[in-house]
A and B are shown apart, each in its own frame.
Chain A
Amino acid sequence: MNGISLYLHIPFCVKKCNYCAFYSLPGVTEATKDAYLDALQKQADSFPEHREVCSVYFGGGTPSLFGAERLRTMLDFLRTRFFIREDAEITLEVNPGTVDLPFLESLRKAGFNRLSIGMQSGCDKELAFLGRIHTADMVRSCVENARQAGFDNISLDLIFALPGQSAEDLADSLRTAFALAPDHLSVYSLQLEEGTPFFDQRTSLTFPTEEEEEGQYKLLCALAREAGYEHYEISSFAKDGRYSRHNLHYWQRGEYLGFGAAAHSHWNGKRFSNHPDLEGYIADPLGCNDYKKAERIDETESWEEDVMLGLRTSFGIPAHLVPALPVERMIALGLMERRGENVALTETGFRVSNAVIGQLLL
């Protein structure tokens, strides 16, 4: 593994979306954002080693709300504490309703070289239903501006399996997305999470059945393939090998440091996470992040992680990592296949990956 990755969690948003259970807050003041920047720097400063960094990811929330200036300041600060490689992938998540051309230009100049744009759907009705603050048209102009600002690595996020969404609706959204020629697509099925407006309304919403959702997934896989995308992870598709290097790093069990409220780290054989809320984190950026006390991942756990993370990708895991008998059974069921020395989940297998992994690990 070449270097570590850095994740920065920016828990601010214009308003909470109806499906979102991540930690983020609307209506945060400028003063709080300054304090947050301060805290992020303190935490980053606390790691003594000057490690090589292969990817940086600013996620949220809506990191664009942090403001171009703070984002640049933070990235610059990171460069003083870590050795961020020249070819490092530096991603910013943006909400298409919050950015304009000058903003994107300044970030590109600051060194960001990849954008992950929260498109979610190509249909305004669905966007409104999801509680998004933008329209499909704003996604299109966001992508155009990004290209103009010099971003040549753009990913779009989409959600499917929405209540009431037909296969045709999904196909429309995908075609809209393909028309924007993104280098990467992340397409997630809607997950009903506790504490979200959707969860509260769940009894009045009609969610697709397992079979309907599977049908949509199969459609998604077929259309993405047709459009020239490689399905390299359960929810990820890339053109011309433009994988999300940052995410691959997670799945390959690379080391990473998470800065910010609720951010997770995997470092020095340990996993740990920060204060889960903004106030707690600002008050004590190093608090929960006492990696010295964190428990070391033992051998079994480490093996389990190798298997369950590795099998998220289409590259799979070395066959010798898992017992042969269940693997053969999964292959016979069409849920896994051999890829050279590796075994990997098939697209059908991706849909039931938890159960398959259970069969292999237990």
Chain B
Amino acid sequence: MTRYLLLPLAFALFNTTSAQDDDLLKLLGEEETGPEYTTAAFKSTRVINGHSLENTAHGVLDFRIGHRFGALNSGANEFWGLDQATIRLGLDYGVTDRLMIGIGRNSYQKTYDGFVKYKLLRQCDAGCTTPVTLAFVAATSINGIPQSTLWPYPEEDRPFYFSHRMAYSFQMILGRKFSESVSFQLNPGLVHINLVEKADQTNDIYHISGAGRVKLSKRVALNAEYFYVLPGQIPVPSEEEQAAGELPYRNSFSLGFDIETGGHVFQLHITNSLAMFERGYITETTEQWSDGGIHFGFNISRVFTLHNPKPKR
């Protein structure tokens, strides 16, 4: 009788031990991992012209070269735009993983620009539940064209202030990496221009914008972005003005590819905007996709790690 009772017991025992051998690691208990934030929703800190929800990492300096050729419809004599060039040179730096700052110089209206971008919320993969990334970008630009061109009035009639050169942009970026390959963001905002050209133009220009990307392979992504300026803020030039060469405002739309090669990201795109800072591409785009007013362009980003925030062990 004893034998019969002990036999199943022995089996039970044998089974438990072998089960434990199968997964010894369970003995360590549940793993405690800190919050794990989603990475690489976009390959770069810019989608094309506008900011993406990504920041440069803490301690990383990003040297950016932006280049836009002339418009495709400028004709054979201009080699379909490739004879012309508009350039932005910029330096971005990650102060922390959430805070990023940057400066740039544009050949478009000889403009200097600077911005601060802060991530308020970060989308989480594990350890927390934040479903989206929420960032804010505050940017400013200083128009650098000579005063005589910018201000054709005699100084004693209408004094010129340095602030006339300045414009500001505030943008909220609400975005999510939906899957390994698909990310989307909404980035509504406001551009404030201190000095506008016409009496009927508002100084504050509101826009609702969005951008998205689809990864085509591990190293290539397709991006698109659209800036929709709410109607009634930028006046349409009269027929006489249009006849004199003044062009009505158009919304900025861009399509592009991100190609990643180690420390570089190459962004190749076509866009109807020429400028690479907010006041320029959001409020001063006049070309139209439908009649060939598109520019081929590229951004090159090269990162340098200036400081490694991780403690040495």
**A and B associate in one complex:** no
- Chain B residues near A (Cβ < 8 Å): none
